[in-house]
């Protein structure tokens, strides 16, 4: 698993770790049932306090993305959490509007915005294979 | 549970009438990491020296493992490790001699950890201290501070003056120690990115008082900064009365306003990295 943190990001470090694990799962780079490094190993790998990584893992576990099997390690859940599809659609529609208004203000046209989404998708789905 | 380190209303001045520390209270729990922040002269070093028993407080008290470091200096120092930017190591002795001296002082000395850190830092016992680079000297100091497996590490600007590579190595070693030993750490630093990495809680000293004492993640998520044109808000006192307002500071044509929580009232408030937050909270007016 590739995780990179940036202390000058606007998100706190545990949130950056959470985001990257969720992106890995969404993009298919992290498969259901796959084992994650222990929070101590990841903490040394990315040079971040162990409690910060543990906090990210705990929150991901509470959200149903990963599970800790005592004495064995931490795994991506075999069955990922069911999302409230209608509520999520509404949130995504709002996010899409925000993206569109920013892109139009930057002078982009719709086909360029669609290409932007495609290229972001390519990054998300192939990042983990590289 | 008794805290590992406890400051109770600590005051100290060097010149009459100008307190360096003015009623400082906070504690460090077992295995907790606390970053001590503040501008130069805010009192960080004085506070750490008081915790070590190198200085006595003029008011209030300090407790390390429940006892005063002045009453029982030996038993306290046995359980504490100390590294400071200003630490002077004996220049003519060799690394091996310095380590042997520390090993002699402490009953509990971890030879395996000593060997491991010597390897990791690439140190040779035959080198004389005066031949070491600043980074290597600090690594020797860290080794001497941790091989008796202290329950509390006091680090005063441990990475001050080190290049980015040496700083990162220092950080890596600290994090490995946290993983293996669960040592409680109080460290002062001006490197906000290091503070974010080593994490835990943040105590911000400002003019001798505790300005902020909070979990780092909560600090980053709860506190935000708004920039309001001075032309649109002529009266800063009105801004100060807004709920959650922590500070108003003029910066050129704007007010920079630090809020705890969402200020509402249609004010756009952004979350900022620790470095910016530090400047917004204790920076001067422009």
In whole angstroms, give the CA distance from residue B219 to residue B37. Answer: 13
Predicted TM-score (pTM) of the model is 0.85
Give contacts of B 160-219 with A, CB under 8 A.
168, 171-172, 175-176, 178-179, 192-193, 196-200, 216-217
Residue in B197, B252, B262 with CA at minimum distance from that of residue B223: B262
By Cβ distance, the residue of B175, B221, B273 closest to A49 is B175
Paired strand residues for B270:
B225
User: What is residue A130's predicted lDDT score, i.e. its pLDDT?
Assistant: 46
By Cβ distance, the residue of B178, B217, B273 closest to A10 is B273
Q: Among all residues of chain A, which has the CA nearest to that of B275?
A: A8
Tell me if A5 and B197 make a contact (CB, 8 A cut-off): yes
Residue in B26, B30, B34 with CA at minimum distance from that of residue B9: B26
Q: Which of B183, B220, B268 to mutate to test the interface with A (most CBs of A within 10 A)?
A: B220
By Cβ distance, the residue of A8, A52, A55 closest to B193 is A8
DSSP letters of B247-259? EEEEETTEEEEEE
For residue A127, name the pLDDT band (cuts at 50, 70, 90).
low
Q: Among all residues of chain B, which has the CA nearest to that of A38?
A: B179
Note the pLDDT tens digit of each residue in A17-62. 999 999 899 888 899 999 999 999 999 999 999 999 999 999 999 9
In whole angstroms, give the CA distance from residue B168 to residue B60. Answer: 37
Note the pLDDT tens digit of each residue in A53-105. 999 999 999 999 999 988 899 999 988 777 777 878 888 899 999 999 999 99
In whole angstroms, give the CA distance from residue B1 to residue B79. Answer: 17
Asked whether the beta carbons of B195 and B35 are under 8 A apart, the reply is yes
Asked whether the beta carbons of B211 and B204 are under 8 A apart, the reply is yes
Query: Which tokens in the block code for residue A125?
Result: 């789905």
Asked whether the beta carbons of B211 and B247 are under 8 A apart, the reply is no
User: What is residue B15's predicted lDDT score, i.e. its pLDDT?
Assistant: 81
pLDDT tens series, chain B, 286 aa: 779 999 999 999 988 778 899 999 999 999 899 999 999 989 999 999 999 999 999 999 999 999 999 999 998 999 999 999 888 899 999 999 999 999 999 988 999 999 999 998 899 999 999 999 988 999 999 999 999 999 999 999 988 888 999 899 889 988 988 888 889 999 999 999 999 999 789 999 999 999 999 999 999 999 999 999 998 888 889 999 998 999 999 999 999 999 998 888 788 899 999 999 999 999 887 7
Interface residues from chain A to B (CB-CB < 8 Å): 5, 7-15, 40, 43-44, 47-52, 55
Tell me if A44 and B175 make a contact (CB, 8 A cut-off): yes
Phi and psi angles of residue A113, each rounded to the nearest 5 degrees, phi first: -70, -40
User: What is residue A91's predicted lDDT score, i.e. its pLDDT?
Assistant: 87
Contacts of B33 in chain A (CB under 8 A): 49, 51
Chain B nearest-CA distance from A111, in A, is 31
Taking CB atoms and an 8 Å cut-off, how many pairs form between chains A and B?
A: 61
Tell me if B172 and A5 make a contact (CB, 8 A cut-off): no
Q: What is this model's ipTM?
A: 0.84
């Amino acid at each position: 698993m590739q995780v990179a943190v940036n202390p000058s990001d606007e998100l706190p470090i545990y949130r950056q770790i959470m985001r990257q694990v969720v992106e890995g799962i969404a993009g298919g780079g992290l498969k259901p049932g796959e084992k994650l490094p222990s929070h101590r190993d990841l903490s040394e790998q990315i040079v971040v306090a162990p409690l910060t990584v543990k906090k990210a893992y705990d929150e991901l576990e509470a959200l149903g993305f990963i599970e800790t099997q005592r004495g064995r390690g931490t795994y991506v859940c075999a069955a990922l959490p069911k999302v409230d599809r209608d509520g999520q659609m509404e949130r995504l529609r709002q996010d899409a509007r925000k993206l569109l208004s920013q892109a139009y203000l930057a002078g982009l046209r719709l086909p360029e915005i669609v290409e932007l989404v495609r290229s972001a998708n390519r990054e998300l789905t192939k990042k983990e294979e590289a | 549970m008794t805290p590992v380190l406890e400051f109770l209303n600590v005051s100290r001045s060097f010149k009459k009438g100008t307190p360096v520390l003015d009623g400082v209270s906070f504690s460090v729990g077992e295995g907790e990491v606390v970053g001590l922040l503040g501008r130069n002269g805010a009192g960080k070093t004085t506070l750490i020296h008081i915790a070590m028993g190198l200085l006595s407080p003029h008011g209030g008290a300090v407790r390390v493992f429940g006892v005063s470091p002045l009453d029982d200096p030996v038993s306290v120092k046995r359980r504490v490790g100390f590294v400071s930017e200003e630490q002077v190591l004996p220049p003519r002795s060799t690394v091996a001699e310095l380590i042997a001296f520390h090993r002699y002082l402490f009953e509990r000395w971890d030879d395996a950890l000593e060997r491991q850190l010597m390897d990791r830092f690439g140190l040779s016992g035959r080198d004389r201290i005066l031949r070491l680079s600043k980074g290597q000297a600090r690594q020797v100091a860290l080794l001497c501070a941790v091989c008796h497996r202290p329950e509390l590490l006091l680090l005063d600007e441990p990475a001050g003056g080190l290049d980015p590579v040496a700083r990162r190595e220092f950080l890596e070693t600290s994090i490995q120690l946290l993983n293996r030993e669960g040592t409680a750490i109080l460290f002062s630093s001006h490197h906000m990115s290091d503070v974010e990495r080593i994490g835990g809680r943040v105590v911000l000293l400002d003019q001798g008082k505790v300005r902020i004492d909070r979990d780092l993640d909560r600090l980053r998520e709860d506190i935000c900064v708004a920039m309001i044109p001075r032309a649109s808000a002529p009266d800063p006192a009105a801004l100060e009365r807004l709920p959650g307002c922590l500070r108003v500071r003029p910066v050129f044509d704007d007010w920079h306003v630090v809020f705890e929580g969402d200020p509402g009232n249609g004010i756009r408030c952004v979350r900022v990295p620790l470095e910016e937050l530090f400047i917004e909270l204790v920076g001067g007016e422009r």
